[in-house]
Amino acid sequence: MRLILVGPPGAGKGTQAVHLAAHYSIPHISTGDIFRANLKEGTPLGVEAKGYMDKGELVPDSVTNAMVKDRLNHSDTTNGFLLDGFPRNVAQAEVLKGILEEKKTPIDAALELAIENSEIIKRLSSRRTCKECGKAFPGALDKCDSCGGELYQRDDDKEEVISRRLEVYTEQTAPIISFYRTAGLLITIPAVGDVAEITAGAIRALSQKLS
Ligand code: AP5
């Protein structure tokens, strides 16, 4: 299964990606997580990305495309992958199409998580993230229930940055929905409600689409 998750910030892409990647036994590739891991390690890539992420802007395509191209060359992607947070504009979608055409391994589907802005703002402003494993939680807990790591609020989950991320999504990312609809690859599911029910709905919709 080669799958793309599309949706605004806070739609639950990371949350659903963990369950879908486990279900299909494919790696979960999150560009945001790769940038944050680089930032934690203090690499030049992380330092460069932070300047954009903290403002809610996209990291330049030249940096992001090269990073994804490299990741898709790892051997664990042979039987598929789930991309979370990439592509994020039509230019990135075209680059991805080119990379996969060269490998003769096209995308199977682009799964859109649909959600209202009011719910997004609620989710992002209360989200806490594990410093160690990156797991997201809907509100303050003492520590991560998976690894015991300390929780923090992402710099881009501050109110003024959330607004900019939503603008960037509408202006730059939302056009990829038409891109994948035109390609006959788009599936849209509602992303509100019980996490497990959303996962089950996604798996049902994907198996209908691919049957
Ligand atoms: P990235 O990390 O990709 O952030 P994002 O797309 O803004 O998505 P989020 O991680 O904020 O949300 P999500 O949809 O994963 O939701 P989550 O599951 O956490 O990117 C960060 C930045 O990196 C970008 O702004 C950009 O600067 C840069 N970047 C990344 N990719 C790039 C690219 N391709 N090109 C250029 N720049 C790039 O859920 C949110 C909250 O809701 C959590 O607290 C969760 O517990 C809760 N939740 C989840 N599901 C439910 C539910 N069903 N009900 C109630 N609560 C729920």
pLDDT of residue 196: 98
Q: Give me the mean pLDDT over the 28-40 stretch.
A: 96
Residue 69 included in any domain: no
Is residue 52's pLDDT more than 80?
yes
53 lines ligand 1 (CB under 6 A): yes
Task: Judge whether 84 lies within some domain.
Answer: yes
154, 158, 181, 209: which one is catalytic? 154
In the annotation, is 2 catalytic?
Answer: no
Pairing of strands 109-114, 128-130: unpaired
Q: Residue 140: is its pLDDT beyond 80?
A: no
Q: Report DSSP letters for 74-140, one per residue.
A: SGGGTT-EEEES---SHHHHHHHHHHHHHHT----EEEEEE--HHHHHHHHHH-EEETTT--EESS-
Q: Total domain count for the chain? A: 1
Q: What is the pLDDT of residue 191?
A: 96
Q: Which of 36, 123, 128, 165 is catalytic?
A: 165
What is the domain range of residue 139?
Answer: 2-27+74-210
Q: What's the CA angle centered on 205, arms 202 and 208, to 5 degrees?
A: 150
Query: Is 209 an annotated catalytic residue?
Result: no
Strand order in the sheet with 109-114: 28-30, 81-84, 2-6, 109-114, 186-190
Contact 28 CB / ligand 1 (< 6 Å):
no
Q: What is the pTM of this model?
A: 0.96
Residue 186 included in any domain: yes
CATH number (domain holding residue 199) = 3.40.50.300
Whether residue 34 lies inside any domain: the answer is: no
Which atom of ligand 1 is least distant from the CA of 9?
7
Residue 40 has pLDDT above 90, yes or no: yes
2-11 per-position pLDDT tens digit:
999 999 999 9
33 within domain boundaries: no
Question: What's the alpha-carbon Rg for the chain, to the nearest Å?
Answer: 16
Query: Has residue 41 been placed in a domain?
Result: no
Does residue 13 carry a catalytic annotation?
yes
Residue 175 inside a domain? The answer is yes
Query: How many residues are present in the chain?
Result: 211
- Is 183 part of a structural domain of the chain? yes
Q: Which band of pLDDT confidence, cut at 50, 70 and 90, is reported for residue 180?
A: very high
Q: Residue 141: pLDDT above 90?
A: no
Q: Report whether residue 24 contacts ligand 1, using a CB cutoff of 6 Å.
A: no
Q: What is the structure's pLDDT at 41?
A: 95
Note the pLDDT of residue 142: 85
Instruction: Catalytic residue, from 13, 36, 123, 128: name it.
Output: 13
Share of the chain above pLDDT 90, in %: 96
